[in-house]
Amino acid sequence: MRSKEDKINTGRRNALKILGLGSAALFTGGLGNISSAQTGQQQQMNKGPAGLPPIKIKSVKAIGVKSNPEGRGSNLIVVKVETTEPGLYGLGCATFTQRAEAVVTAINSYMADFCVGRDADNIEDMWQAFYVSSYWRNGPVLNNALSGLDQALWDIKGKRANMPVYQLLGGKCRFAVDTYTSVSAGTPEEIADRVLKEMEAGQRHVRIQMGGYGAVGTLGSDPDFKAAGFGMPNDSYMDEQAYLKAVPKMFEVVRKRCGEAVELCHDIHERNQPMDVINMCRKLEQYRPFFIEDPLSPENTHWWKQMRESTIVPFAQGELFNNINEFLGPMSNHYFDYIRIHVSQIGGITPAMKVARLGEWFNVRTIWHGPGDVSPVGHSAQAHMDLATWNFGLQEGGGVFSDFLREVFPGCATKENGYIIVNDKPGLGIDINEKMAAKYPITNNAGNWTVRKRDGTIIRP
Ligand code: GCO
Ligand code: MG
């Protein structure tokens, strides 16, 4: 005779079975249309955007090329993402010239494995997935690799949608992208001559530098540390006080010679003591600088409040930023006026557009970092963002490329009257000649970033 306990348990088991069946029915809308409901979701999952066939990532690789055929210049890194749709691929910039080979390893040894077989349409998901795939994150090497992937996926999505990427980002806020160029020379008079030439060429904004950053190589020679045999022979010397006196003089001469029609900018390049910078900026106020760049190193972010409250010059900051925690505070307190991130150093278009949108709420405008160590693919990506960003400020560089680079990267942006013009081809509108690139491989020449004070103390460049 089965015990009462027994009967209850059997009853419970039967009930659970029925429940199970019931809920399955619930999810699948009863036995009748189990298959169609599953199929619906499955079908949804198995369809690409707008009914396009779904595509997966077939391969990811790094392509390295020197920025000039003589083997000098920057180590440019581009990521090529190929898809399961024959002939459909995307390109993205992953250029970190000082550690290019490390980025290549991250791409070819880790990213390729990670990405193959994944859905190429889900850019945000792919970005978040790779971003945390190394557990430790936010570093220059992995962020650059991620940028290459990200920009390539936007390029692919534009090609699938048959639209330029700026259209996917919301369309044009302006007809073209205004720029600034940089001039440097040994004396203020020579610098003024070069500014006048830039104005004749249609530039409205010109950044003026006395020789190298911090006037290295122009002011100050035979430092004591060299006489003492300290450091390496090709270490650079920066005479801080000579630099701090020379910059106001440079602005005085250039403003007098070139007048008020040109906007003048200057890059401090994070090399001076914050209080010295405050005093120098106060002397520059009378020359109405358009922006003073990187007055503080990322290690001195805590000086921003005092810096902002001490002078009225507009500030542009950020090419060394890799991590949201470096710019969220200063931007939301609008301690600086322009955000100057090196887009591949934070991981590409996806995060950069978030930074741009964040800036809108605090009236911080964009001036993406655009020197020679951004590839033409990266320059195109930035120009597309610049077109689609309301709080755009200016763009550094872009549009002017050597014949060599135009041959390696067909579809480079162009420049007219100081404005960058991108073509209206789908995606980022730029391609790469892999055969030609292979003839000019990258090197591990990271450039000389050792700058010392008179006594040999290292200065953060
Ligand atoms: C700029 C920058 C560059 C950097 C270079 C580092 O404002 O353009 O300061 O010149 O020094 O990109 O590799
Ligand atoms: Mg700079």
pLDDT digits (tens, 9 = 90+) for 46-68: 667 777 788 999 999 999 999 99
pLDDT band at 30 (very low <50, low <70, confident <90, very high): very low
Neighbours of 346 (CB within 10 A): 25
Name the closest-CA residue to atom 6, ligand 1: 373
Say yes or no to pLDDT of 1 above 90.
Answer: no
Please give the distance, rounded to the nearest whole angstrom, from the Cα atom of residue 293 to the centre of ligand 1.
11
* 351-404 pLDDT, tens digit each: 999 999 999 999 999 999 999 999 999 999 999 999 999 999 999 988 899 999
- Tell me which of 213-222, 314-323, 353-362, 375-384 is least confident: 213-222
**pLDDT on residue 165:** 98
Cα three-residue angle 132-137-140, rounded to 5 degrees? 130
Please tell me the least confidently modeled range out of 30-44, 64-78, 214-228, 304-318.
30-44
User: Are the C-beta atoms of 130 and 329 separated by less than 8 Å?
Assistant: no
In which band, very low, low, confident or very high, does the pLDDT at 212 lie, cut at 50, 70 and 90?
confident
Higher-confidence residue: 42 or 206?
Answer: 206
User: What pLDDT, on the 0 to 100 scale, is given for residue 217?
Assistant: 80
**Nearest CA owner, ligand 1 atom 3:** 371
Dihedral of the alpha carbons of 80, 83, 85, 87, in degrees to the nearest 10: 10
What is the reported pLDDT for 27? 46
Q: List, as one string, the DSSP characters of 55-99.
A: -BEEEEEEEEEESSTTS-S-EEEEEEEEESSTT-EEEEE---GGG
Ligand 1 nearest-atom number relative to CA 461: 11
Query: Six-digit token pair at 455?
Result: 């006594």
Is 373 near ligand 1, meaning CB less than 6 Å away?
A: yes
Q: What is the mean pLDDT of residues 288-302?
A: 97
Measured CA to CA, the distance from residue 416 to residue 201 in angstroms comes to 9
Rounded CA separation 349/94 (Å): 12
Task: Reply yes or no on whether 213 is catalytic.
Answer: yes
pLDDT band at 31 (very low <50, low <70, confident <90, very high): very low
More confident residue, 217 or 95: 95
pLDDT tens digits for range 398-448:
889 999 999 999 999 999 999 999 999 999 999 999 999 999 999 987 788
Q: Is-contact 207 182, C-beta < 8 A? A: yes
Q: Find the catalytic residue in 166, 213, 237, 287.
A: 213
Helix %, strand %, coil % of the chain (to 5): 45, 15, 40
Residue 120: phi, psi to the nearest 5? -80, -10
- Which of 266, 269, 369, 384 is labelled catalytic? 269
- 330-355: average pLDDT: 97
Looking at residue 204, the DSSP 8-state letter turns out to be: S
Task: Please provide the size of the chain in residues.
Answer: 461
* Ligand 1 center from residue 77 Cα (angstroms): 16
Protein residue closest via CA to atom 4 of ligand 1:
371
* Averaged pLDDT, 114-129: 97
Q: What is the mean pLDDT of the chain?
A: 92
Cα separations (Å) of 359 from 71, 296, 354, 400? 38, 19, 9, 27
Asked about 131 being catalytic, the answer comes back as no
Q: What pLDDT does residue 239 have?
A: 93
Q: How far is the CA of 42 from the centre of ligand 1 (A)?
A: 49
Q: Candidates 182, 267, 342: which one to mutate for ligand 1, based on the most atoms within 8 Å of Cβ?
A: 267
Q: Please, what sign has the CA dihedral across residues 39, 45, 51, 53?
A: negative
CA of 324 to the centre of ligand 1 (A): 20
Ranges assigned E (strand) in 234-279: 236-237, 263-267
371 lines ligand 1 (CB under 6 A): yes
Residue 16: the pLDDT is: 52
Query: Which range is least confidently modeled, 65-74, 270-279, 346-355?
Result: 65-74
Is the pTM above the cut of 0.85? yes
183-199: pLDDT as tens digits: 999 999 999 999 999 99
Q: Among 30-34, 49-53, 128-132, which range has the highest average pLDDT?
A: 128-132
What is the C-alpha radius of gyration for the chain, rounded to an integer number of angstroms? 27
Mean pLDDT of 243-252: 97
Q: How far apart are CA 416 and CA 385, in angstroms?
A: 19
Specify the ligand 1 atom closest to the Cα of 397.
8
